[in-house]
Amino acid sequence: MVLTGICMCGAVAWTYSGDLTRKLVCHCADCQRATSSPLTAFLGMKPEQLSWTGEIVHYESSPGTFRGFCPTCGTRLYFRSDRWPTEVHVHAATMSNPGEYRPDAQVFMPSKAGWLDRLPSIPAHDGFQQEPMVHPPAATV
Ligand SMILES: [Zn+2]
Ligand SMILES: [Zn+2]
């Protein structure tokens, strides 16, 4: 299997050849904070089969744990930790074809954002809402 990916501005790209070690959705509080999102989706890869082009900056979010991102556009690229030296977790949303992603596990369920369960029951639009809601319904405050 060959997969490719890119950051938002295109300065950083990755190519992976080989079998994936994980396809997981993470609900942990660190990922929520680091990605400014309620959840993040990862592809587990073997470091020796993953190649990068472009400059990457990383943040050491805890001792021996690194979160890489593009210094130009800020796109989150990977998570890696000295605790799991045989794996790099690449953010699945950076895939060239992110629609092909098929997670097979989700982890850290106790910190899952509670409102995710409400998504199927709230209004959904194909694009951005045309007008902001001026008077929120009192019941949702
Ligand atoms: Zn970029
Ligand atoms: Zn996480």
CA of 51 to the centre of ligand 2 (A): 23
Residue 56 and residue 135: Cα distance in Å, rounded?
44
Residue 110 and residue 31: Cα distance in Å, rounded?
13
CA of 90 to the centre of ligand 1 (A): 15
Per-residue pLDDT band for 134 (boundaries 50, 70, 90) equals confident
Q: Report which secondary-structure segment, H or E, holds 16.
A: strand 13-17
Q: How many CB atoms lie within 10 A of CB 69?
A: 20
**3-class SS at 45?**
strand
Residue 118 and residue 13: Cα distance in Å, rounded?
35
Model confidence over 88-117: pLDDT tens digits? 999 999 999 999 999 999 999 999 999 999
Ligand closest to Cα of 37 equals 2
- Asked if 18 and 32 touch (Cβ cutoff 8 Å), the reply is no
Model confidence over 25-72: pLDDT tens digits? 999 999 999 999 999 999 999 999 999 999 999 999 999 999 999 999
Ligand closest to Cα of 24 equals 2
30 burial type by CB count under 10 A (0-12 exposed, 13-18 middle, 19+ buried): middle
Give all domains of the chain, ordered by start, each with its CATH number.
2-113 (2.170.150.70)
CA of 77 to the centre of ligand 1 (A): 9
β-pairing verdict for 22-26 and 105-107 = parallel
